[in-house]
């Protein structure tokens, strides 16, 4: 795991750099997949970057900053505020899970334990984003459903499924990439 000597300022630059790289990746991935990163049927591939939190605490702030920047392009103030807060809450809840899993697995994240890491991302987004879509974008129907409860329920299912695809299909690719990155690029931050 990456360790940062924030007290002495020596590795704070690494922490900021790691967070900025993750934020940039999140933003670029979201904008490249803009067609299906927004609205009621969405699969924001960039959410797979929640897996970076296992490797660096900078992942919490990187994913949040990337989501905030991405949501600035959405045009909805409610999405900018509450969509970004949903990502921050999920990332903050993911961090203790990552700490516990890292104690158990060390640097060798196994498949079974990797399934725990995206849970907050999936659950928090499925709970909050339907309200963002309903109130922020005025999406008051989905399919043939027009009753508020039915629309919110369908959007929760849709957003949840998109998060599952993002985190559990693309997430393992992030894990493989992070193992390479951790071994090569971030070697100087371990200690």
Instruction: Give the dihedral sign, CA 175/177/183/189.
Output: negative
pLDDT one-digit tens code per residue, 91-147: 999 999 999 998 998 877 888 888 999 999 999 999 999 999 999 999 999 988 899
Q: What is the pLDDT of residue 4?
A: 52
CA angle 184, 178, 57 (to 5 degrees): 105
Residues of the chain with pLDDT under 50: 1, 188-191
- What is the CA 66 to chain-centroid distance, rounded? 9
Q: What is the pLDDT of residue 40?
A: 80
Instruction: Give the dihedral sign, CA 171/173/176/179.
Output: negative
CATH fold of 12-189, please?
Arp2/3 complex 21 kDa subunit ARPC3 (1.10.1760)
CA angle 75, 126, 145 (to 5 degrees): 80
Question: Could you give the percent of the chain with pLDDT greater than 90?
Answer: 64
Q: Enter the pTM of the model.
A: 0.87
């Amino acid at each position: 795991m990456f360790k940062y000597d924030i007290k002495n300022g020596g590795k704070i630059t690494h922490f900021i750099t790691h967070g900025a790289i993750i934020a940039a990746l999140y933003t670029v991935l979201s904008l490249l997949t803009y067609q299906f990163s927004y609205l009621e049927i969405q699969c924001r591939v960039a959410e797979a970057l929640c897996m970076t939190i296992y490797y660096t605490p900078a992942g919490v702030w990187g994913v949040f900053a990337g989501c905030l920047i991405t949501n600035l392009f959405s045009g909805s103030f409610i999405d900018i505020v509450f969509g970004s807060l949903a990502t921050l809450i999920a990332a903050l809840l993911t961090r203790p899970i990552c700490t516990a899993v890292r104690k158990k697995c060390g640097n060798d994240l196994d498949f079974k334990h990797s399934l725990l890491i995206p849970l907050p991302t999936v659950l928090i987004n499925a709970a909050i984003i339907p309200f963002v879509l309903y109130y922020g974008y005025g999406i008051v129907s989905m399919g043939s459903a027009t009753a508020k409860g039915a629309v919110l329920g369908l959007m929760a299912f849709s957003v949840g499924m998109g998060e599952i695809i993002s985190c559990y299909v693309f997430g393992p690719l992030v894990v493989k990439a992070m193992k390479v990155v951790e071994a090569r690029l971030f070697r100087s931050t371990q200690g």
